[in-house]
Amino acid sequence: MPDKKLHLAAFVSAGPVSGSHAGWRHPEADGDLLSAAYYQNIGRLLEQGRFDLLFIADILAIPDTLGGSLDSQLRYGALGALRLDPLVVLSIIAGATKHLGLGATISTTYAQPYALARALATLDHLSGGRAAWNIVTSFQEAEARNFGLTEQLSREERYERADEFLEVVTKLWNSWEDGALVRDRQTPLFADPARVHRIDHSGKWFNVRGPLNVSRPPQGRPVFIQAGASDRGRDFAARWAEIIFVTPGLVDVAVEFRNDLRARAVRFGRDPDTVKVLPGIVPIIGDTEKQAKAVHDQLHELSHPESGLSTLSYHLGVDLSRFPQDEVLPENLDVPGVEGHYREVAELTRRSGLSLAELGQRYGAGRTTSGFAGTPGTVADRMQEWFEAGACDGFMLQVPYLPGGLEQLVHGLVPELQHRGLFRTEYDGSTLRDSLGLPRPAG
């Protein structure tokens, strides 16, 4: 039995799309996206499956990159057609679970350090040490306009601001020493003034006095998640992130990425084992190979090409309606958005020769990582291959439809991984850091 275990996180959107743009149309999908019970049920299922983490993605605008219009996003229920606030949703889930990590996506470009530090410290306290933060810098012009800007910051400015943002929130979480909250009724001493400190941060982007008005979180600070794939993004991830979400598509690309991130982490003075690389996959599980293929084909049929192209345009920051839809994705595009997504679809185009319209349908149906559709045994084989090749420390599972697709993972795939000794049968400790085998940062 292997000593090292996989980590499993679930990528969920508080909206119509998690793993497939066709997911909300699937007959086993629960359409009540505005119900607290819907998200609590997802949390309970994931905890039943002993998942490390539920990670809620987010964006701050309805994308209009494709043709300068909202129509395709709204009409087809694409990626950004509807998004509930992750922190509010996770607070609802926290009360229905005991061990599941709770990851919220929050932008360093449009949030303020004090408010974010306070909110995540609160979630970490109320959940008993299970909060995580997916750090994004945001790259959509529509998001900038929703926050009073005429244009977004440059990529370098966004990362520069993000670095300082992380420095500030870390200082704020440490502004209360461990044990500063005394609550001695007899003395009386509620909190020890000698152990609560102003931070007096003065920088290019932020001037924050502190201290925070919430005591130090149970985990010291929330677990940091990041998905940077550009060279600058990799450096940012290597400096800060503890979970890195990536979509490499191919196992050899994933091996290179993980090796590179671990080497960069060492250059930043970190233990590389504190960096957990989780490739995103869209597993489709069936009792038989034929059944899994039928679900795969059904999702493909339910996915409209314009839906996937709309989201791909948003991811790349490029209006793909400018190009002939019956021709392939142009090479060497200037991509102001996510470079990792461009490399992913460029590689798929090189291998398959898909036209833009076909690429949109494929991207919308369930992204581009192949080989993860089949019986629990065949999907576990593929996951084990990646894990043992050094391509990952686990996986970020993007469930194609909810809750039916999640039930198949919990009742089919997870037992298979447990049988092979690749995944836990019980939680380790009580906090998310315990589950991930991460140390609690010193104050």
Tens-level pLDDT at each residue, the chain (443 residues): 457 899 999 999 999 888 888 889 988 887 789 999 999 999 999 999 999 999 999 999 999 999 999 999 999 999 889 999 999 999 999 999 999 999 999 999 999 999 999 999 999 999 999 999 999 999 888 999 999 998 889 989 999 999 999 999 999 999 999 999 999 999 999 999 999 999 999 999 999 999 999 999 999 999 999 998 889 999 999 999 999 999 887 899 999 999 999 999 999 999 999 999 999 999 999 999 999 999 988 988 998 889 999 989 988 989 999 999 999 888 888 888 777 778 888 888 888 888 999 899 888 887 645 579 999 999 999 999 999 999 999 999 999 889 889 999 999 999 999 999 999 999 999 999 999 999 999 87
Question: Six-digit token pair at 28?
Answer: 């086993």
Angle, in degrees to the nearest 10, between helices 356-366 and 289-302: 120
In eight-state DSSP terms, residue 322 is: G
Which single residue is written with the structure tokens 């699937």? 26
Q: In the CATH hierarchy, which fold is given to the domain comprising 7-436? A: TIM Barrel (3.20.20)
List residues forming the annotated binding site. 58, 105, 159, 230
Nearest to 299 by CA among 398, 416, 411: 398
Residue 341 has, within 13 A of its CA and on its CB side, a CA count of 20
Please tell me whether residue 105 adopts helix, strand or coil conformation.
Answer: strand
List residues forming the annotated binding site for FMN. 58, 105, 159, 230
In eight-state DSSP terms, residue 442 is: P
C-beta neighbour count of 73 within 10 angstroms: 27
Nearest to 139 by CA among 339, 438, 402, 278: 339
Q: For the chain, report the end-to-end CA distance as a whole number of angstroms.
A: 37
The length of the chain in residues reads 443
- Say which residues have a Cβ less than 8 Å from residue 273's Cβ, sequence separation at least 6: 437
Which single residue is written with the structure tokens 């839809």? 325
Please tell me whether residue 10 adopts helix, strand or coil conformation.
Answer: strand
d(CA 363, CA 88): 29
Q: What are the extents of the domains in the chain?
A: 7-436
Question: Six-digit token pair at 89?
Answer: 């949703």
Name residue 181's amino acid: L
8 Å CB contact between 20 and 282? yes
